[in-house]
Chains A and B, each alone.
Chain A
Amino acid sequence: MFTTVTLSLFEGFLGTLKLFALTLLFALPLGLIISFGSMHKSIIVRGPIRFIIWIVRGTPLMLQLLIIFYGPGIFLGTNLWGAGDGGRFTAALVAFVFNYACYFSEIFRGGIQSIPKGQYEAAAVLGLTKTQTFFKIVLLQVVKRIVPPISNEVITLVKDTSLARVIAFYEIIWEGERFIKSAGIIWPLFYTGAFYLIFSGLLTLLFGYIEKKLSYFK
């Protein structure tokens, strides 16, 4: 029984991992773009972006999942996401990417704004372009500073993926819960915790490694 449960939980965990990995893949670059918007000189750009960040950070992710999944059908009269599991996955991914990009953008903004003005001035008097200054001077210093808060968000994301079952997205908690109905046992649901623990343990090691890699400068 233990092997059967482990194997099927593992299958559920693949759903978790897929949502996790794709969310990161899209939310990190989108977050960088949003952070530029939220630091824009013009209030016309900055204002709406900060308003959206406020909405996204100020409402529960579970509610955002429900609105994004059911909203188009109710308000636009069209099922934007397509039928079946694929549609559920796409809707969940969009909600997660949007939500996490907003959180990441605030971390990026903090990191970018913490770089001393003198770094920009030194780059300027050396004749560097704005693009060169960002990629050659600022970026790595920002990365070093934001590794700890980003690692926090990433580990939170692992566990947040379980919220997607509110729109019936198939992942590990869903799989664990199935055993209550099908076999009348509850321990597989509790057992899912081990999967989360091991995976977030691996992520902790990975981020520790990155931090160490970047410790050659201050």
Chain B
Amino acid sequence: MRPYWMEEFGNASSIHLQGQKARTAVDHARETLARFFHCREAEVVFNSGGTEGDNTAIFGLLRPGDHFITTSIEHSAVLRAADRVAERGVEVTFVAPSANGLIDPERIRQAMRPATRLGDSRRTLVSVMLANNETGVVQPVEEIGSIAAEAKAFFHIDAVQGAGKVAFDVRRFGCHLCSISAHKIHGPKGVGAMYVRRGTPLEPLIVGGSHERRQRAGTENVPGIVGLGKAVELAMESLEDGTMERIAGLRDRLEAGILAISGTDVNGAGAPRAGNTTNIHFEHLEGEALVIALDLKGVAVSGGSACHSGSTEPSHVLMAMGLDKNAARASLRFSLLKTATDEDVDHVLRVVPEAVDRLRALAPLEASTLS
């Protein structure tokens, strides 16, 4: 990334030589992304990240009268966009997960509306995430893809969390659209990309110049795109060189160590999960206080989703899986970086039981008395 901030300052859309150098860098990244998605280079659109990708898919395809099928465990970039198109006359169906966090493809099929008459121009869009950001549960996108294809529905995958963690191939997934974010694969923040299958009637979200084949106006974020390309390259390597298996091994050891504490269980247990994440419910505990206590000991974990003020609200994902407010509040997500080591896991396993004991001793059962 570094040269593209200062030395190679050209605008990738300019004709002059400086601009061409930037163009080359962007095209090189596009080639990497195409290999990653398993698509043509012309089907890669760079953007500002996952939220923009999710929004583009939903606002760019759906018109009043259309049908949008998604799930209640999606990221808010999908859920809030769903709310907005619902206000604009799109019919929206939210499919709930099973208790283990998996979306049953049959429920997607049941949500489909039959075409009312021949030549019905009503569009259906299905949007499901590849892996859940809170539980790590990997969704059966291939099955959902073939159900969408049978019903002639469009299919968008929010792959922000799954990218770099599970084998990736948009052809196999059967999707028309797929969004990823650089920062979730150790790349820079504020940049991402979207796969747009050729021929998909997607209206751009941002209009202006003719950048990205008129799919996304605005001067290309050259350093960001270069960084995304590099991150994707490294992510593909990690999937092949055993790094992700190593991380999954560490995650399993971490999980087993935490489950040795009484009154703990894994949210999403039994479902296929991304190897770097575990979401653990601690009975009789204030999740928010545990997050802070662990952070002060150098262990960064997350509770629910950050609300407007920066405090946390109980996770809508866990509540959709059937947990009550208190159980959702008492659940924490541990995610391992690619660089995580055995020593890191040892440290966490020293700190967590101590903090949990302390919290439980201070406020025994108090959380459960709240409605």
A and B interact physically:
no
Residues of A within 8 A of B (CB): none
Residues of B within 8 A of A (CB): none
